[in-house]
C-alpha cells in the first residue's frame, strides 16, 4: 500500500508539473484534469487552435525539468466558491468543476507550487524537487471532456514516473518489449477482436478471438463441474433498490451505468413522469444474494456454490481504457459460495485447489495479496476484525506465500487477490477471493442450523481468471500471440504445393475437421514459401505441407511455426499427437 500510494503521489505531482509546462509553452491553453493512473499519469488540455505532436514531448519534458527546480513544496488551501471562481475565471473546465463541487456541497481546495496554481484536493509528494524528477512523457491521445462524446475533444498527454531512475529505465525497457507484444496490435493482426468508436471500452470479438474466448470459458466450466459449482444466470439490468440493499449504490454508484427508464402510454407523455432508476449490472453478487433467498436453505446444503459468467458493465473513465486490460464490458468466472463460518478455512483450501487447477495449463507463476479493511467500509468494525482473522488463518493454513496490503479490501469484506507474473516479469492482478459478512445481513439471508435456529451465512466471492477479457489480453502478450495448441484459434494449416495437390488437401481438411481439429486450407495460387510465411505470421502451431510424395505415401510433411521440420507423419500418427497435446493442454 505504501509503495502504491507513494507512486500515485509522485505521478499526480508530475501531472501538475506537466500542466504547468504546457501552459507556459502554449499561452492561452487550459488544463482540465490530470490524475495518476495504473502505470503513470495523464493531463488533458484544451489547446485552442494549437496542436501538440509526439515530436513536442521532449521539449515539454525539458520545460517540466526547468520548472521543477522552482518547486519546493505543494501548498494546499481550502477556499470559498467565490475565490475559486475568481482564481480560475479564465479556465472553463475548472469553473465547471467548481460549480459541480459547490452543488454537491464539497469543499474546494487549491494547490500552489512555485508560481503555478491549480484546483486539486491533494495527494502530492512533500518535496517535489527531489521526489518527482524521474519521469518521462510517453504518448498523446484525444479524449472528450468528462468522457462525453457531446463535449469538446481535448488533447491528452500521457507520462509515467517512478521513485528512482533505475525503476524508470527498467519500465521504459519493458515498454519497448511490450510494444512488440501489444495485445491491441496482435488482436487486429491475428483477427481476434477489434474496438469501435461506437462502443468505447467494449470489444467486438471476431471469429478467431471468440474461439480462444470460448475455449478458455469451456475449460472454466469444466472446472465448475469438477469442483461442485452450479451455474446460474441473472438479469443484466436491475432497479437501484437492489444496489441500495447491497451497498453498491452508496459505495460503487460512480462506476455504474445508470439510467432512468420511462414508461410512456402515448407520445405526449412527459418522459420523466413515472420513471424508475435502473443500473446495468457491474457485478453479480447482489443477484446471487437474491438467488440464495429464493427458498429456505438448510445447513446441510452448505457450501452452496453458484457460478455465473454474465456480461458485466462498469463505467471506466475514457482516459483509463486500455484494450482488454481495462474495459467497460466484460465477463468473469465469477462465483458466490454460501457457507457457515466453521467452513471458511476448508472452503478457502478448496478454492485454492481450484486456482491451482485453472492456472495449471499456463506457464505463469503467482502469489497472493491480503487486502484489509479500507477507509470507507460497510458494517461493524468487530465483524471486519473477525473476518480478517478468519481469512488470515485460512491463508496461513494454506502455506502459500502472501503479502498484506493494508486498506485494500473490498468495501464489504477483506479479500485475497491473485498476483500473476508473465513472461516479461510484469505482475497482474487477475483473480480475487473475498470474504463477506455484510451482504448476507443486508439481504437478511438465513439458513437453518442443526438446532433449528436461523443464522446468516457467510459468502465467499471468488473469481480466478477474473475478467476473461483481461486474462486473454495478458495471455496474448505473455505468449506474444503464439497460443498453446489447445487455445490456438487455428491449430493446423494445410499447404498444398500446387493445384494438383488441392484435392488431397481437401480430403485431409475434412478428416481433421471431423476429429475436432481447428484447421484451415490455403488453396490459393501463392508459392509454398508465401503460404508458409502467411501461416507463420498468423502464428498457427503446425503446418501440413502436401506435395506429390505426400499423396503417394499418404502422409503429411509437418512443420512447426518455429520452423522446425517434424518429418512425414501419417494422418493417424499426427492426429494422435495433436489430440494428446490438446488433452494435456500442451
Whose grid coordinates read 502455506? Answer: 399
Cell numbers standing for residue 260:
432512468
Neighbours of 95 (CB within 10 A): 15
φ and ψ of 431, to 5 deg: -85, 175
- Report CA-CA distances (Å) from 232 to 283, 310, 335, 441: 14, 9, 10, 22
Query: How many beta carbons lie within 10 A of that of residue 575, not counting itself?
Result: 18
User: What does the buried/exposed string (b/e) look like for 132-167 if buried means 16 or more CB atoms within 10 Å of the residue's CB?
Assistant: bbbbbbbebeebbbbbeeeeeebbbbbbbbbeeeee
120 class by beta-carbon count within 10 Å (0-12 exposed, 13-18 middle, 19+ buried): buried
Q: Yes or no: say if 271 and 262 are a contact pair by the CB < 8 Å rule.
A: yes
Residue 27: CB atoms within 10 A of its CB come to 8
Catalytic amino acids?
A: 285, 314, 332, 334, 336, 415, 461
β partners of residue 461 = 336, 434
Q: Is the peptide bond before 303 cis (omega within 30 degrees of 0)?
A: yes
Cα distances (angstroms) measured from residue 389 to each of 312, 433, 436: 31, 15, 13
Dihedral class, residue 190 (left if φ above 0, else alpha if ψ from -120 to 50, else beta):
alpha
Which string of b and e fits 182-206 if b means at least 16 CB within 10 Å?
bbbebbeebebbebeeeeebbbebb
Size of the chain in residues: 586
What CA–CA distance (Å, rounded) separates 251 from 411? 7
Q: How is residue 228 annotated by DSSP? A: T
Q: What is the DSSP string of 432-456?
A: EEEEESHHHHHTT--EE-TTS-EEP
Q: Provide the 10 A C-beta neighbour count for residue 54.
A: 11
Burial of 404 (0-12, 13-18, 19+ CB in 10 A): middle
The string of DSSP letters for 198-216 reads TSTT-EEEPHHHHHHHHHH
- For residues 271 and 264, give the distance between their C-alpha atoms in angstroms, rounded to a whole number: 7
Taking the C-alpha atoms of residue 216 and residue 14, their distance in angstroms, rounded to an integer, is 40
Amino acid at each position: 500500500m505504501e509503495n502504491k500510494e507513494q507512486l500515485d503521489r509522485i505521478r499526480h505531482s508530475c501531472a501538475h508539473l506537466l500542466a504547468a509546462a504546457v501552459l507556459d509553452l502554449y499561452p492561452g491553453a487550459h488544463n482540465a484534469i490530470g490524475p495518476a493512473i495504473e502505470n503513470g499519469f495523464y493531463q488533458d488540455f484544451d489547446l485552442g487552435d494549437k496542436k501538440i505532436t509526439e515530436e513536442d514531448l521532449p521539449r515539454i519534458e525539458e520545460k517540466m525539468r526547468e520548472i521543477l527546480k522552482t518547486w519546493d513544496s505543494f501548498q494546499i488551501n481550502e477556499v470559498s466558491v467565490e475565490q475559486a471562481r475568481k482564481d480560475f475565471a479564465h479556465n472553463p473546465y475548472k469553473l465547471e468543476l467548481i460549480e459541480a463541487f459547490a452543488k454537491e456541497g464539497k469543499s474546494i481546495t487549491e494547490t500552489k507550487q512555485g508560481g503555478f496554481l491549480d484546483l486539486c484536493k491533494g495527494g502530492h509528494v512533500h518535496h517535489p524537487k527531489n521526489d518527482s524528477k524521474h519521469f518521462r512523457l510517453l504518448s498523446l491521445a484525444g479524449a472528450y471532456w468528462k468522457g462525453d462524446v457531446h463535449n469538446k475533444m481535448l488533447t491528452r498527454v500521457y507520462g509515467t514516473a517512478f521513485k528512482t531512475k533505475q525503476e524508470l529505465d527498467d519500465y521504459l525497457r519493458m515498454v519497448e518489449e511490450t510494444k512488440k507484444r501489444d495485445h491491441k496490435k496482435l488482436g487486429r493482426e491475428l483477427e481476434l477482436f477489434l474496438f469501435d468508436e461506437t462502443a468505447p471500452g467494449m470489444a467486438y470479438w471476431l471469429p478467431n478471438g471468440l474461439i480462444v474466448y470460448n475455449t478458455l470459458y469451456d475449460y472454466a466450466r469444466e472446472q465448475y463441474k469438477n469442483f461442485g459449482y452450479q451455474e446460474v444466470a441473472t438479469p443484466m439490468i436491475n432497479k437501484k433498490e437492489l444496489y441500495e440493499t447491497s451497498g453498491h449504490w452508496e459505495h460503487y454508484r460512480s462506476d455504474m451505468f445508470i439510467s432512468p427508464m420511462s414508461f410512456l402510454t402515448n407520445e405526449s407523455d412527459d418522459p420523466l413522469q413515472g420513471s424508475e432508476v435502473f443500473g446495468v449490472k457491474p457485478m453479480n453478487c447482489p443477484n446471487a444474494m437474491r438467488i440464495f433467498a429464493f427458498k429456505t436453505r438448510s445447513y446441510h446444503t452448505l457450501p452452496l456454490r453458484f457460478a455465473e459468467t454474465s456480461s458485466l458493465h462498469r463505467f471506466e473513465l475514457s482516459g483509463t481504457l486500455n484494450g482488454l486490460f481495462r474495459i467497460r464490458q466484460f465477463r468473469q468466472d465469477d462465483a458466490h459460495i454460501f457457507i457457515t463460518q466453521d467452513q471458511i478455512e476448508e472452503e478457502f483450501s478448496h478454492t485454492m485447489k481450484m486456482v491451482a487447477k485453472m492456472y495449471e495449463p499456463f506457464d505463469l507463476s503467482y502469489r497472493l495479496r491480503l487486502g484489509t479493511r479500507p477507509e470507507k467500509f460497510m458494517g461493524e468494525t468487530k465483524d471486519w476484525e473477525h473476518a480478517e482473522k478468519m481469512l488470515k488463518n485460512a491463508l496461513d493454513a494454506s502455506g502459500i506465500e502472501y503479502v498484506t496490503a493494508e486498506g485494500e479490501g473490498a468495501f464489504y469484506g477483506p479479500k485475497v487477490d491473485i498476483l500473476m507474473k508473465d513472461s516479461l516479469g510484469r505482475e497482474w492482478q487477475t483473480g480475487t477471493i473475498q470474504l463477506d459478512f455484510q451482504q448476507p445481513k443486508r439481504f437478511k439471508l438465513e439458513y437453518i442450523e442443526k438446532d433449528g435456529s436461523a443464522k446468516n451465512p457467510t459468502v465467499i466471492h471468488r473469481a480466478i481468471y477474473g475478467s476473461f477479457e483481461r486474462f486473454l489480453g495478458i495471455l496474448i502478450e505473455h505468449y506474444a500471440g503464439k497460443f498453446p495448441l489447445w487455445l490456438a484459434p487455428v491449430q493446423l494449416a494445410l499447404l498444398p504445393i500446387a493445384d494438383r495437390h488441392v484435392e488431397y488437401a481437401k480430403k485431409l481438411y475434412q478428416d481433421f475437421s471431423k476429429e475436432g481439429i481447428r484447421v484451415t486450407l490455403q488453396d490459393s495460387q501463392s508459392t509454398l514459401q508465401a503460404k508458409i510465411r502467411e501461416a507463420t505470421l498468423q502464428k498457427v502451431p503446425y503446418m501440413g505441407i502436401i506435395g506429390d510424395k505426400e499423396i503417394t505415401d499418404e502422409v503429411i510433411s509437418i512443420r512447426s511455426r518455429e520452423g522446425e521440420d517434424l518429418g512425414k507423419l501419417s494422418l493417424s500418427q499426427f492426429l494422435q499427437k495433436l489430440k494428446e497435446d490438446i488433452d494435456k493442454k500442451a
